[in-house]
């Protein structure tokens, strides 16, 4: 199990050091600094073994978090724990920075004591932790006995993520379907790989212990119900018009009853209060690629490159894509660039070795073009320029996977509000993940 946990700043100075096991000596702290933080070359692995001691590290901005062990621990668990710890810290004091860590020194030790016991991760749900580890302190003596046992039963109970007795005057919930669409396309326009990784984020403000049931246009469910053909929805506002989608795989927040999903493929749960990620999913079939990038690079002699890039939007004309950014890499020996674009603004950024072309808004089924002349300094470097891919960023108001929320039903048998009283909001946002076209 985890033997110790260290947090360093970018210089390698120790900010937090908590040792759980005796086999971790004091020299372990220095060993990591010398061998990893101050190492000359780039980090080649997130797991380092120094003198039979294994170090797992993750970096958040310029803060290093390292877990240390001398045993054969579950490596995936250690990393999951480190991420979780970052989440907990962010939930408590915002951004993980040197200043914030120093200011919340006591709190962090208190948290570390609670979420890791003898190197075993314990309950790390922020919702539950916040009931008894507070930044104000001085709460303990005012708690009644009922409150105390309520805390402990929540921390250890089956529904560790929600406390009893939550009340809202207005029962409301927000569902965000956030997708990032990833693409790798060859210069000839052939799709090498494309997938959507999506998340359903739910913000719930519901009273009591509501039982929720979530439904979407999952192909397996629709086909099971036998009405995949004659669907009444008819709301196919996208160009695709298909009613159900094939989900390759999905994972759920721990509140979802997995055994029920496995047997009936229904998603039922009691949600945590506030914001949480209900599910993640992945699709690879029938993805709507919102943009197509057509690059044309021509080398004119040894000191000049001509680049022409056309982007085409491929969705309903009534929808608007936003925050479009196309990044066209330039060789290292670029001396000057002239850019002409029809729409938006384009700039050559020497520090990033790229031409950055930004368009604020663009409707569907449109086309736009940029052309650039790149002057090169003559070099005697034999190695050819590697031609990194052209990447793209954007945001569109639909789900490129075609996913639709069919329903989200809320039942709360004990309190007197029904599914109809709950105000529900659904929003779809598709963003670019790694959206690259080779040139």
Residues 261-280 that bind another protein (CB under 8 A): 261-262, 277, 279-280
Residues 148-167 that bind another protein (CB under 8 A): 148-149, 151-153, 155-158, 160
Nearer to another protein, 229 or 263 (CB): 263
Residues 391-420 that bind another protein (CB under 8 A): 391
Binding mask 45-84 for another protein (x = CB under 8 A): xxx-x--x-x-xxx----------xxxxxxxxx-xxxxx-
Binding mask 297-336 for another protein (x = CB under 8 A): ----------------------------------------
Q: Quick check: 31 binds another protein (CB under 8 A)?
A: no
Whether the CB-CB separation of 428 and 362 falls below 8 Å is answered with no
* Nearest residue to 135 (alpha-carbon basis) of 175, 86, 97, 93: 93
Shortest separation between residue 100's beta carbon and another protein, angstroms: 19
Residues 333-372 that bind another protein (CB under 8 A): none
Residue 349 marked as a ligand binder: yes
* Nearest residue to 194 (alpha-carbon basis) of 322, 286, 313: 286
Sign of the alpha-carbon torsion through 36, 42, 47, 50: negative
Shortest separation between residue 296's beta carbon and another protein, angstroms: 18
Q: How is residue 4 written in tokens?
A: 């110790």
Residue 360 marked as a ligand binder: yes
Shortest separation between residue 95's beta carbon and another protein, angstroms: 18
Q: Quick check: 289 binds another protein (CB under 8 A)?
A: no
Q: Quick check: 30 binds another protein (CB under 8 A)?
A: no
Helix axis angle for 75-93 and 105-115, nearest 10°, is 140
* Nearest residue to 68 (alpha-carbon basis) of 78, 83, 59: 78
Q: How is residue 346 written in tokens?
A: 């384009």
Residue 345 marked as a ligand binder: yes
Query: Could you give the 3-state DSSP secondary structure of residue 322?
Result: strand
Nearer to another protein, 79 or 205 (CB): 79
Shortest separation between residue 208's beta carbon and another protein, angstroms: 21
Residue 358 marked as a ligand binder: yes
Among 94, 137, 189, 336, binds another protein (CB under 8 A): 137
Whether the CB-CB separation of 24 and 4 falls below 8 Å is answered with yes
Whether the CB-CB separation of 309 and 369 falls below 8 Å is answered with yes
Residue 316 marked as a ligand binder: no
Whether the CB-CB separation of 429 and 395 falls below 8 Å is answered with yes
Q: Quick check: 431 binds another protein (CB under 8 A)?
A: no
Nearer to another protein, 20 or 394 (CB): 20
Q: Quick check: 120 binds another protein (CB under 8 A)?
A: yes
Q: Quick check: 4 binds another protein (CB under 8 A)?
A: no
Q: What is the CA radius of gyration of the chain?
A: 26
Q: Quick check: 21 binds another protein (CB under 8 A)?
A: yes
* Nearest residue to 166 (alpha-carbon basis) of 152, 149, 154, 148: 154
Nearer to another protein, 92 or 315 (CB): 92
What's the CA gap between 107 and 129, in Å, rounded?
12
Nearer to another protein, 63 or 319 (CB): 63
Among 141, 229, 351, 380, binds another protein (CB under 8 A): 141
Nearer to another protein, 77 or 320 (CB): 77
Nearer to another protein, 110 or 395 (CB): 110
Residues 182-221 that bind another protein (CB under 8 A): 184, 186, 192-193, 195, 197
Among 22, 226, 235, 302, binds another protein (CB under 8 A): 22
Shortest separation between residue 69's beta carbon and another protein, angstroms: 8
Shortest separation between residue 105's beta carbon and another protein, angstroms: 10
* Nearest residue to 402 (alpha-carbon basis) of 227, 224, 179, 176: 179
* Nearest residue to 73 (alpha-carbon basis) of 89, 91, 53, 87: 53
Tell how far CA 338 is from the center of its chain: 37
Nearer to another protein, 120 or 168 (CB): 120
What's the CA gap between 356 and 81, in Å, rounded?
37
Whether the CB-CB separation of 161 and 125 falls below 8 Å is answered with yes
DSSP 149-216: HHHHHHHHSTTTT--S----SS-EEEEEEEEEEEEEE-TTS-EEEEEEEEEEEEEEE--SS-EEEEEE
Nearer to another protein, 73 or 166 (CB): 73
Give the residue ranges of the annotated binding site: 345, 347, 349, 358, 360
């Amino acid at each position: 199990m985890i033997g110790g946990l260290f947090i360093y700043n970018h210089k390698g100075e120790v900010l937090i050091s908590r040792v759980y096991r005796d086999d971790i000596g004091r020299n372990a702290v220095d060993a990591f600094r010398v061998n990893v933080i101050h190492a000359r070359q780039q980090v080649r692995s997130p797991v380092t073994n120094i003198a039979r001691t294994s170090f797992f590290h993750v970096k958040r901005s310029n803060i290093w978090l390292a877990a240390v062990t001398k045993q054969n621990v579950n490596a995936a668990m250690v990393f999951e724990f480190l991420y979780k710890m970052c989440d907990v810290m962010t939930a408590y004091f915002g951004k993980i920075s040197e200043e914030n860590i120093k200011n919340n020194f006591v709190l962090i030790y208190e948290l570390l004591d609670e979420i890791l016991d003898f190197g075993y991760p314990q309950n790390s749900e922020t919702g539950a932790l916040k009931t008894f580890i507070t930044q104000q302190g001085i709460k303990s003596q005012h708690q009644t006995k009922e409150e105390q046992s309520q805390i402990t039963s929540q921390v250890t109970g089956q529904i560790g993520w929600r406390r009893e007795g939550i009340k809202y005057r207005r029962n409301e919930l927000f569902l965000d379907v956030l997708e990032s669409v990833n693409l790798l396309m060859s210069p000839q326009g052939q799709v090498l790989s494309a997938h959507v990784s999506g998340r359903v984020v739910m913000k719930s403000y519901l009273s009591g212990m509501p039982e929720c049931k979530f439904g979407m246009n999952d192909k397996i469910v629709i086909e099971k119900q036998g009405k995949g053909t004659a669907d009444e929805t008819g709301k196919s506002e996208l160009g695709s018009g298909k009613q159900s989608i094939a989900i390759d795989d999905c994972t759920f927040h721990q509140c979802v009853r997995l055994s029920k999903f496995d047997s009936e493929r229904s998603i039922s749960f009691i949600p945590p209060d506030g914001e949480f990620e209900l599910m993640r999913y992945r699709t690879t079939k029938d993805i709507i690629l919102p943009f197509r990038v057509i690059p044309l690079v021509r080398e004119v002699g040894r000191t000049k490159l001509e680049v022409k890039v056309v982007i085409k939007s491929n969705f309903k004309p009534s929808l608007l894509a936003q925050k479009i950014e196309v990044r066209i890499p330039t060789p290292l020996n670029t001396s000057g660039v002239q850019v002409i674009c029809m729409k938006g603004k384009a700039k050559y950024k020497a520090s990033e070795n790229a031409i950055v072309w930004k368009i604020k808004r663009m409707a569907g089924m449109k086309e736009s073009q940029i052309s650039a002349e790149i002057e090169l300094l003559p070099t005697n470097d034999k190695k050819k320029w590697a031609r990194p891919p052209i990447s793209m960023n954007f945001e569109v108001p639909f789900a490129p996977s075609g996913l639709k929320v069919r329903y989200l039903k809320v039942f709360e048998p004990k309190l007197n509000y029904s599914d109809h009283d709950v105000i529900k909001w659904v929003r779809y946002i598709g963003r670019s993940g790694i959206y690259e076209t080779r040139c």
